[in-house]
Amino acid sequence: MQTLRPAGAFWFLAVSVVGVVLAGQEPTTKPASPGPKAGAEGATAASAGVKIAQDAADFALDDCNGKPEKLAGYKDKVVVLVWANKDCPVFRPCVPDIKELHKKYAAKGVVWLGIDSTAGHTPEQNVEFVKQTELTLPILMDLDGKVARAYGAKTTPHVFVINKGKLVYMGALHNNPSHNLAAGDVRNYVDEALTAVLAGKDVPLAETTPWGCGVKYREEKK
**Domain span holding position 206:** 20-214
Share of the chain above pLDDT 70, in %: 77
Position 2 in a domain: no
Q: What is the CATH number of the domain that holds 61?
A: 3.40.30.10
106-29-100 Cα angle (round to 5): 20
Higher-pLDDT residue of 21, 202:
202
Give domain status of residue 135, yes or no.
yes
| Model pLDDT for residues 171-199, shown as the tens digit of each residue | 999 999 999 999 999 999 999 999 999 99
| The pLDDT of residue 217 is above 60 | yes
Q: Are strands 111-116 and 78-83 parallel, antiparallel or unpaired?
A: parallel
Question: Residue 22: its pLDDT value, please?
Answer: 40
Tell me if 155 is assigned to some domain. yes
Among 44-53, 81-90, 114-123, 124-133, whose mean pLDDT is lowest?
Answer: 44-53
Residue 37 belongs to some domain of the structure: yes
Q: What is the pLDDT of residues 151-167, one digit of tens each?
A: 999 999 999 999 999 99
Which residues lie below 8 Å from residue 67, measured CB to CB, with a gap of 6+?
138
Does residue 194 lie within any of the structural domains?
yes
| Whole-number pLDDT of residue 43 | 36
Q: How confident is the model at residue 33 (pLDDT cuts 50, 70, 90)?
A: very low
Mean pLDDT check: name the lowest of 21-25, 49-53, 133-137, 197-201: 21-25
In a domain, 14, yes or no: no
Q: How many domains, the chain?
A: 1
More confident residue, 143 or 20: 143
d(CA 105, CA 92): 21
Per-residue pLDDT of 43-96, as tens digits, reads 333 446 899 999 999 999 999 999 999 999 999 999 999 999 999 999 999 999
User: Is 219 within the bounds of a domain?
Assistant: no
Residue 96 · residue 166 · CB < 8 Å: no
For the chain, give the percent of residues with pLDDT over 90.
75
- Asked if residue 124 belongs to a domain, the reply is yes
